[in-house]
Amino acid sequence: MNIAMLGSGFIARFYADTLHAQRRRDQITAVYSRNETNAKRFASDYGLNAYSTKMAKVIKDESIDAVIIALPNHLHEEAVMACAKYGKAVLCTKPLGRNASEAKRMLDAVEQAGVFAGYLEDLCYTPKFLKSVDSVQAGSLGRILWTKSREAHPGPHSDWFWDKDLSGGGAIIDLGCHCVEIGRNFIGKSVRPVEVMCWADTQVHPIEAEDHAIGLVRYENGAIGQFEVSWTFRGGMDLRDEVMGTEGTIWLNSFLRTGFDMFTTGKGGKYVAEKAESDSGWLFPVGDEAHELGYPHMFTDMFDAMEQGRAPLETFYDGYVVNAILDAALLSAKTKNWEKVILEDWRGKSDPRHEKSYASHDEKYYLIKKELLPNGDEKLILKDKITGEVKQETKRN
């Protein structure tokens, strides 16, 4: 595929580094940037023939098969509309919109134009995550009860992130979009998110938006998708996910503890990894940063999906649902109430699945718990199915 890149900043370079590595077939051939110097530098760095400061020109070029939007949040809608207009496949950086309305307009535009549209939610494509979701779907964890996704670091790379109007918000929009979608994948995308409770504060930075937030998303089946996001974390970039199910547990650490420990007095220091805060002492690099963050597997799915005429794993519809959840989170942070997730367009299941089945000990009792004690005794905690009385039985072994 021939790809046009819209944007030339941090994320555009990460995408380009990914696509132009590992002898991949799909290559960037043109770049658009608002700033000509940046456009030119990007084209030169990646060996592109074409660069321009005119977005439409780059998009509508006949040689282009797909467009990647790597622009600040406030420019996503304009770019998506242009792709829809010119009938080009479009891949848009997360978050899709600054809010659900914006996201919905983009969703409608690509669906009406009938163009392929992929949502570049890279952290739902890390190899660890993909394999975890496989295990969850295979039933290894039983019924999912709770997920936690955490992204925390000392703050983003570019000025516009820190300006609420351009970005749509602070850490919630910037990082929460990852965490919410990670939770949805584990809990099941067909399960409706119902309401959100969120705490947010601006604890450290001289900005208007929140730099720290914790949220709980309640799903119709009773599962909770927790997110923890911060621009105030010290120590690097903390990317961790957890899942609890009735039959098991998953803990993922995607960045600071991946089996690569290095101590150095600092001789020979240089760039360690995204958001690393030090170049001496104990450091925790990752082997291949793009890979650990999911970029290669994400683009593979996107272009495979285009060729196979199927939807990618992460679609504009997912981006829209995420925005709707984040809208509720931002509102909740203000009202201090649980706020409903407003989804005018819900495509999942509508019947709440809330069935619980209790383990029976025998005809008369439920089994609450069986446990081996340090002194070798075995203890059963039982509940009378009719009276509700709880009792215990201990067997001395």
Is residue 320 involved in binding a copy of itself (CB under 8 A)? no
**Identified binder of a copy of itself from the candidate list 63, 261, 342, 347, rule CB under 8 A:** 261
Contact region with a copy of itself (CB under 8 A), list: 29-37, 114-122, 184-192, 268-276 = 268-276
**Identified binder of a copy of itself from the candidate list 62, 112, 268, 363, rule CB under 8 A:** 268
User: Least distance (Å) from a copy of itself to the CB of residue 184?
Assistant: 18
User: Least distance (Å) from a copy of itself to the CB of residue 287?
Assistant: 3
Q: What is the total count of residues that contact a copy of itself (CB under 8 A)? A: 123
CA dihedral 341, 345, 347, 350 (to 10 degrees): 60
Is residue 129 involved in binding a copy of itself (CB under 8 A)? yes
Q: Which of residues 331-360 bind a copy of itself (CB under 8 A)?
A: 336-338, 356, 358
Is residue 267 involved in binding a copy of itself (CB under 8 A)? yes
Is residue 146 involved in binding a copy of itself (CB under 8 A)? yes
Closest-CA residue to 115 (of 323, 299, 346, 312): 312
Q: Closer to a copy of itself at the Cβ: 87 or 142?
A: 142
Task: Judge whether 312 and 115 are in contact, CB under 8 Å.
Answer: no
Q: What residues does 377 pair with on adjacent strands? A: none
User: Least distance (Å) from a copy of itself to the CB of residue 114?
Assistant: 24
Is residue 185 involved in binding a copy of itself (CB under 8 A)? no
Task: Judge whether 158 and 241 are in contact, CB under 8 Å.
Answer: no
Q: Which of residues 190-209 bind a copy of itself (CB under 8 A)?
A: 197, 199, 201, 203-208
Sequence-distant (6+) residues with CB within 8 A of 144 are 136, 186, 187, 188, 223, 243, 244, 245
How do beta strands 66-69 and 89-93 pair?
Answer: parallel
Closest-CA residue to 78 (of 38, 30, 34, 35): 34
**Identified binder of a copy of itself from the candidate list 50, 274, 340, 349, rule CB under 8 A:** 274
- The torsion angles phi and psi of 10, rounded to 5 degrees, stand at -55, -50
Helix 36-46 vs helix 10-19: crossing angle, to nearest 10: 20
**Identified binder of a copy of itself from the candidate list 74, 81, 235, 340, rule CB under 8 A:** 235
Sequence-distant (6+) residues with CB within 8 A of 334 are none
Contact region with a copy of itself (CB under 8 A), list: 67-75, 76-84, 99-107, 284-292 = 284-292
For residue 156 the two structure tokens come to: 């983003």
Q: Which long-range contacts (CB under 8 A, 24 or more apart) does 359-365 make?
A: 360/385
Task: Judge whether 302 and 122 are in contact, CB under 8 Å.
Answer: no
Is residue 86 involved in binding a copy of itself (CB under 8 A)? no
Is residue 63 involved in binding a copy of itself (CB under 8 A)? no
**Identified binder of a copy of itself from the candidate list 7, 95, 118, 154, rule CB under 8 A:** 154
Question: Would the CA dihedral through 154, 156, 158, 159 be positive or negative?
Answer: negative
User: Least distance (Å) from a copy of itself to the CB of residue 155?
Assistant: 5
Is residue 120 involved in binding a copy of itself (CB under 8 A)? no
Is residue 178 involved in binding a copy of itself (CB under 8 A)? no
**Strands laid side by side in the 390-395 sheet:** 365-372, 378-384, 390-395
Residue 42 burial by Cβ neighbours in a 10 Å radius (0-12, 13-18, 19+): buried
Is residue 65 involved in binding a copy of itself (CB under 8 A)? no
- The torsion angles phi and psi of 14, rounded to 5 degrees, stand at -60, -45
In whole angstroms, give the CA distance from residue 22 to residue 188.
Answer: 32
Is residue 269 involved in binding a copy of itself (CB under 8 A)? yes
Q: Which of residues 299-318 bind a copy of itself (CB under 8 A)?
A: 299-300, 303-304
Contact region with a copy of itself (CB under 8 A), list: 85-93, 105-113, 177-185, 225-233 = 225-233
Is residue 7 involved in binding a copy of itself (CB under 8 A)? no
User: Least distance (Å) from a copy of itself to the CB of residue 38?
Assistant: 10
Bond preceding residue 95 cis, omega within 30 of 0: yes
Is residue 36 involved in binding a copy of itself (CB under 8 A)? no
Alpha carbon separation from 142 to 78, 138, 146, 243, 247 (Å, rounded): 43, 9, 12, 11, 5
**Identified binder of a copy of itself from the candidate list 57, 131, 347, 364, rule CB under 8 A:** 131
Is residue 259 involved in binding a copy of itself (CB under 8 A)? yes
User: Least distance (Å) from a copy of itself to the CB of residue 146?
Assistant: 7
Is residue 258 involved in binding a copy of itself (CB under 8 A)? yes
